[in-house]
């Protein structure tokens, strides 16, 4: 029952939700072709000046930036693994299905 849908993950920080210290939450947008995207907060915040827009990760060598980048890697691996598992079980997968797993 393997399907041929593609999963795309985009990480970004939500500037509009930045707190007084300039820390904005990091969000993961889960997109599967032909489906409505879903967003998932990863539970990390990055200072507005420490976000690398081009590489979609925190820049800098501070502890918070390293933890954030590690969390981004973990979320990427987990969501990709769950997507592959769902591909073997279902004909059509939605971003909400991946988010809920």
Rg (CA), the chain: 15
pLDDT, tens digit (0-9, with 9 covering 90-100), for 17-32: 999 999 999 999 999 9
pLDDT, tens digit (0-9, with 9 covering 90-100), for 69-80: 999 999 999 999
Give the pLDDT score at 62: 84
Give the pLDDT score at 1: 52
Helix (H), strand (E), coil (C) string for 23-71: EEEEEEEEEECCCCCEEEEEEEEEEHHHEECCCCEECCCCHHHHHHHHH
Q: Look at 77 and 3; give whichever has higher pLDDT.
A: 77
pLDDT, tens digit (0-9, with 9 covering 90-100), for 29-72: 999 988 899 999 999 999 989 999 999 999 988 888 999 999 99
């Amino acid at each position: 029952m393997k399907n041929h849908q593609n999963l795309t993950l985009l990480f970004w920080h939500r500037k509009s939700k930045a707190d007084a210290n300039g820390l904005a939450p990091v969000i993961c947008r889960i997109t599967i072709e032909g489906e409505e995207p879903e967003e998932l907060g990863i539970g990390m915040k990055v200072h507005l000046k420490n976000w690398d827009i081009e590489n979609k990760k925190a820049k800098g060598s501070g502890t918070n930036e390293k933890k954030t980048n590690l969390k981004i890697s973990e979320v990427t691996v987990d969501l990709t693994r769950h997507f592959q598992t769902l591909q073997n079980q279902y004909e059509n997968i939605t971003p909400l299905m991946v988010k809920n797993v």
